[in-house]
């Protein structure tokens, strides 16, 4: 367990507040977490995709740059925001620049170092915590009005643990915006064959996806897990959230070269973005009964 508990906004007076305690996954020897921590640290050293901080242009309109203006009512000033699995100097500093009291949790110290640098350079208050999204015991219950999670749940085997933790730290009526990799995209081959982008990986599985090279929608060196739709959407409901909207960010371009990211996206949308609201009494909803559902 992470030692100590921090309330959101503990760092409001200093520029950047770092909570550094022995991460639980080290003590519990969870190989996926350790592999992903190392892989993301290496990605930062090698300046790979998704390790670029927000630009000056992004900071001109931070809420639009972070992609949530419409869902967040156009204003996050004074809100307590948790950016989960979101290191890299982008989401956290942008929310802080938009006036939110912001905390970033990420497993990679190198990704968090970028957040610290950006916050320092721009004089933004930011709390960064090195830890895993499926154990937020360093954070108080109901500490956040908004939890924003870019694509990162693919790195944990059990998404229901993440949802349970997010439900605990989100205040009643608070918002959880999360983006995930779509299962079918993870099942399909990276390159097109004469039969299209063939589905090759099983949907039902109890092991990570095989490692991949040269993929524009997966990250080499990481261990990634496919989460089924019932886990992505039903899991949210069972954790006590009400889904208010679902988007598939569009990356398709029918004029793009075969095998490029944009070409594959014409057939296989890579991501789904979900807006959910925490119910007032989430634990009552937690055990949805399958017996009440009509199944064909
Ligand atoms: C695709 S990046 C998302 C943030 C990036 N700034 C962006 O704009 O896309 C995925 C992040 O998930 C983090 N991550 C991987 N496993 C994690 C875990 N178990 N708990 C918390 N963060 C994790 C990685 O370190 C990485 O920073």
- Where along the chain do its domains lie? 16-281
Residues 6+ apart with CB under 8 A from 151: 179, 180, 181, 271
Mean of the per-residue pLDDT values for the chain? 89
- The residue contributing the CA closest to ligand 1 atom 18 is 132
pLDDT on residue 49: 92
| Average pLDDT for 105-120 | 97
- Give the pLDDT of residue 3: 30
Substitution candidate for ligand 1 out of 88, 94, 219 with most atoms within 8 A of CB:
88
Quote the CA–CA distance of 103 and 112 in Å, as a whole number.
Answer: 11
33: pLDDT confidence band, cut at 50, 70 and 90?
A: very high
Comparison of pLDDT for 205 and 290, the residue scoring more: 205
∠ Cα 176 283 288 (to 5°) = 90
Q: Is residue 112 in contact with ligand 1, taking CB distance under 6 Å?
A: no
Whether 296 has a pLDDT exceeding 80, the answer reads no
- Domain 16-281 adopts which CATH fold? Rossmann fold (3.40.50)
Question: At residue 146, does pLDDT exceed 60?
Answer: yes
Q: What value, to the nearest 5°, has the Cα angle with vertex 289 and ends 284 and 294?
A: 135
Residue 19 burial class via C-beta count within 10 angstroms: exposed 0-12, middle 13-18, buried 19 and up: buried
Query: What mean pLDDT comes out for the span 54-67?
Result: 96
Task: Give the lowest-confidence range in 88-92, 136-140, 283-287.
Answer: 283-287
Decide: 209 and 186 in contact? Cβ < 8 Å: yes
Average the pLDDT over 224-242 and give the result: 97
Q: Is 24 in the pocket of ligand 1 (CB under 6 A)?
A: no
The pLDDT of residue 294: 55
**Cα–chain center distance at 105:** 10
pLDDT for position 21: 59
Instruction: Kindly tell me if the per-residue pLDDT of 137 is higher than 70.
Output: yes
Strands 170-181 and 271-278, sheet pairing? antiparallel
Q: How far is it, in rounded angstroms, from Cα 75 to Cα 16?
A: 23
Q: CA-CA distance, 261 to 266, in Å (whole number)?
A: 9
Question: Is any atom of ligand 1 closer than 6 Å to the C-beta of 180?
Answer: no
Global pTM reads 0.91
């Amino acid at each position: 367990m992470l030692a100590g508990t921090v309330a959101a906004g503990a760092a409001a007076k200093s520029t950047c507040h770092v909570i550094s305690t022995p991460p639980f996954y080290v003590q519990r020897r969870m190989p996926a977490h350790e592999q992903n921590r190392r892989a993301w640290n290496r990605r930062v050293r090698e300046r790979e995709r998704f390790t670029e901080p927000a630009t000056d242009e992004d900071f001109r309109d931070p809420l639009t740059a972070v992609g949530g203006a419409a869902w967040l009512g156009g204003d996050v000033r004074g809100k307590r925001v948790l950016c989960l699995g979101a290191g890299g100097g982008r989401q956290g500093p942008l929310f802080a620049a938009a006036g939110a009291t912001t905390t970033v949790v990420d497993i990679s110290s190198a990704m968090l170092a970028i957040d610290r640098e950006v916050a320092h350079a721009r004089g933004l208050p930011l709390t960064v915590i090195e830890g895993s999204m499926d154990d937020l015991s360093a954070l108080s219950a109901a500490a956040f009005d908004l939890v924003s999670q870019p694509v990162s749940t693919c790195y944990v085997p059990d998404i229901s643990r993440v949802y349970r933790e997010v439900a605990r730290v989100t205040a009643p009526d608070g918002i959880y915006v999360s983006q995930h990799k779509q299962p079918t995209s993870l099942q399909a081959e990276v390159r097109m064959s004469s039969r299209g982008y063939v589905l090759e990986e099983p949907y039902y599985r109890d092991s990570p996806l095989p490692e991949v090279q040269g993929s524009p929608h997966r990250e080499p060196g990481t261990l990634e897990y496919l989460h089924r739709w019932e886990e992505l959407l039903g899991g949210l409901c069972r954790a006590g959230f009400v889904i208010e909207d679902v988007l598939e960010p569009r990356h398709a371009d029918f004029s793009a070269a075969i095998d490029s990211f944009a070409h594959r996206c014409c057939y296989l949308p890579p991501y789904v973005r979900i807006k959910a609201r925490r119910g007032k009494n989430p634990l009552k909803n937690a055990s949805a009964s399958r017996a009440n559902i009509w199944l064909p």
